[in-house]
């Protein structure tokens, strides 16, 4: 037991088998957190108030010149970058805690201005009294009483959770600079150490961030960061999520991670003129096997995002984005400071480490075990893993997505994520992506594939496309890409074909789905003599 614990807690024996998480929290964390001894400690000010062509990213990210890609960004680092050393824990900047309580920064639990209520089954509810009757810890209790072995529960209560408490309380020493908010319509980049992120995530687990538990608060346009929804209800999804996240906390409390992670909010102010684009489609590798995170090594990996990044990761959601945030938990901290993405924005995360292996998807998701990330680091000690969060539109009706303005919006969103200012296109990695915006969002897989091909081509990137087990989709998309490439159809011509499809097929359609599929329409239109002559004539004019 840590020496920081009071004597009565030191001598108090808890029966782990019978103890619930709430009981543990109240006895071990709550009593300690609110004892007179700790309240008088300066540390307690924290809570007292509450193929090579596809994989060029490694060589690009290893150089600090990668920052030139975001030349219009404001760069903020919470580390002393001049003291970065391989294998050493980064040093926070500044050396002493600097408080801020304003609309530009994250309101920290360690701020002296944090007047968060401290009055409710657990210490969480003590300083979240407004939610005492709403929050429950069913998932955590089930994890301890029905899912874990006795020795695992013993380790959780005796080692992992106390270490997480210690980590959370390091915030004023580790996060000394006010953390800026990545607000909408601002090109801004924020770099944190993995240790700082672990500290902040421990605070999120213990739900200490003030004013972040209601959509009616000043942070109503930000994702939820406190983990209270993760603890609720008996859903097996929550149990597996907790296993995955506790694996992360166990590892970072055992061995302090030594790298950095950069979060960049990027805005697209000048989208391409899609109609007049003469760009040819780039190369494609498509497969129905594998995953983006496992087989997209060295590529720009797409997160099929919610506009509130992370989606339902701390709630019930458990599809592509949520799974990625669980196995790479450092992504979750983006929810602390990233305002909801606008139509022309994306979030780029460089350096997030993978800590867990998994199997399944949604209801079948299971935490499998520890993953040791061997991805090399760049000069900034970031893992050479670049993830881009782009949020697709959600459609109520199938035909809605073929409206020209909807297709253009998706093109611009994908291009925003794939494009890099001032980047040498020869050095850009391929995009590792798949069925973006499909599934629950209602997107058509075949349309979304074409949209991403067009955006990638305009951004100068090849594409590695994962259909996640759909062999027929793999075949259809591969054949369409080959057909368009052999026919030398440009991005602008394909954009025109998509608009023609809406005007000639979808616009006056009175059924839920048109009789003529998009791909059939493209095949027939491009293969017609008139179309062939027009396209051949345009291509000749390009030379």
Q: Which residues are annotated as a binding site for substrate?
A: 306, 320, 361
Q: Please list the active-site residues.
A: 303, 321-322
φ, ψ of residue 238 to 5 degrees: the values are: -65, -40
Task: Give every CB contact of residue 193 below 8 A, 6+ residues apart in sequence.
Answer: 78, 79, 89, 90, 92, 174, 257, 259, 260, 261
* SS3 category, 142: helix
- Tell me, rounded to whole angstroms, the distance of Cα 94 from its chain centroid: 27
Residues annotated as binding site? 306, 320, 361
DSSP labels, 229-293: GGGSS--HHHHHHHHHHHHHHHHHHHS----EEEEEEEE-SS---GGG--PBP--EEEESSS-HH
Of 304, 71, 301, 67, nearest in space to 187 by CA? 71
Contact 123, 29 (CB under 8 A): yes
Q: 359: which strand partners?
A: 366
d(CA 334, CA 90): 19
| Cα distances (angstroms) measured from residue 408 to each of 206, 388, 393, 461, 526 | 42, 19, 11, 19, 21
- Cα four-point dihedral sign 339, 345, 349, 355: positive
φ, ψ of residue 451 to 5 degrees: the values are: -60, -45
d(CA 362, CA 439): 12
d(CA 90, CA 93): 9
Return the percent helix, strand and coil in the chain, to nearest 5. 45, 10, 40
Of 283, 289, 284, nearest in space to 471 by CA? 289
Task: Give every CB contact of residue 434 below 8 A, 6+ residues apart in sequence.
Answer: 292, 302, 304, 320, 465, 466, 467, 468
Of 279, 282, 288, 283, nearest in space to 476 by CA? 288
Size of the chain in residues: 543
* SS3 category, 206: coil
d(CA 476, CA 473): 5
């Amino acid at each position: 037991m840590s020496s920081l614990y009071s004597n009565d807690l030191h001598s108090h024996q808890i029966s782990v088998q019978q103890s619930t998480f709430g009981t543990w929290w109240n006895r071990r964390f709550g009593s300690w957190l609110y004892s007179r001894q700790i309240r008088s400690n300066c540390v307690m000010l924290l809570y007292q108030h509450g193929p090579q062509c596809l994989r060029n990213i490694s060589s690009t990210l290893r150089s600090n010149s990668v920052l030139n890609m975001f030349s219009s960004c404001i760069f903020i680092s919470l580390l002393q970058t001049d003291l970065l050393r391989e294998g050493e824990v980064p040093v926070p900047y500044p050396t002493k805690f600097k408080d801020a309580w304003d609309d530009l920064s994250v309101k920290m639990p360690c701020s002296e201005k944090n007047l968060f209520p401290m009055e409710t089954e657990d210490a969480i509810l003590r300083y979240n009294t407004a939610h005492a009757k709403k929050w429950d810890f069913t998932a955590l209790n089930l994890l301890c009483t029905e899912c874990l072995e006795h020795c695992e529960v013993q380790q959780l209560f005796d080692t992992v959770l106390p270490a997480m408490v210690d980590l959370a309380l390091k915030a004023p020493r580790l996060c000394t600079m006010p953390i800026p908010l990545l607000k909408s319509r601002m090109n801004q980049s924020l770099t944190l150490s993995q240790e700082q992120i672990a500290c902040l995530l421990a605070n999120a687990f213990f739900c200490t961030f003030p004013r972040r538990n209601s959509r009616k608060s000043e942070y109503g346009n930000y994702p939820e960061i406190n983990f209270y929804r993760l603890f609720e209800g008996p859903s097996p999804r929550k149990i597996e999520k907790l296993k995955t996240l506790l694996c992360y906390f166990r590892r970072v409390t055992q061995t302090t991670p030594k790298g950095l992670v950069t979060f960049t909010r990027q805005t697209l102010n000048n989208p391409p003129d899609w109609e007049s684009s003469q760009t040819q489609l780039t190369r494609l590798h498509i497969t129905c096997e594998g995953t983006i995170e496992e087989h997209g090594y060295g590529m720009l990996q797409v997160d099929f995002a919610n506009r509130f990044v992370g989606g339902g990761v701390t709630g019930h959601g458990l599809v592509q984005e949520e799974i990625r945030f669980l196995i790479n938990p450092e992504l979750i901290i983006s929810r602390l400071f990233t305002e909801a993405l606008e139509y022309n924005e994306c979030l780029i995360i460089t350096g997030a480490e993978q800590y867990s292996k998994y199997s399944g998807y949604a209801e079948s998701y299971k935490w499998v075990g520890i993953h040791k990330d061997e991805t090399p680091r760049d000069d900034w000690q970031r893992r050479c893993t670049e993830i881009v969060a782009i949020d697709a539109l959600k459609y109520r009706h199938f035909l809605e997505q073929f409206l020209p303005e909807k297709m253009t919006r998706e093109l611009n969103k994908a291009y925003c994520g794939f494009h890099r200012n001032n980047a040498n296109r020869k050095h850009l990695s391929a995009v590792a992506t798949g069925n973006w915006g499909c599934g629950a969002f209602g997107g058509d897989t075949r349309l979304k594939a074409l949209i991403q091909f067009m955006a990638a081509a305009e951004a100068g990137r090849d594409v590695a496309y994962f259909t996640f087990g759909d062999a027929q989709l793999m075949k259809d998309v591969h054949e369409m890409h080959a057909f368009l490439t052999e026919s030398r159809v440009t991005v602008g011509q394909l954009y025109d074909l998509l608009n023609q499809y809406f005007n000639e097929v979808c616009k006056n359609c009175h059924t839920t789905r048109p009789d003529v599929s998009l791909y059939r329409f493209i095949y027939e239109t491009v293969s017609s003599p008139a179309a062939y002559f027009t396209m051949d004539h345009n291509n000749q004019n390009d030379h």
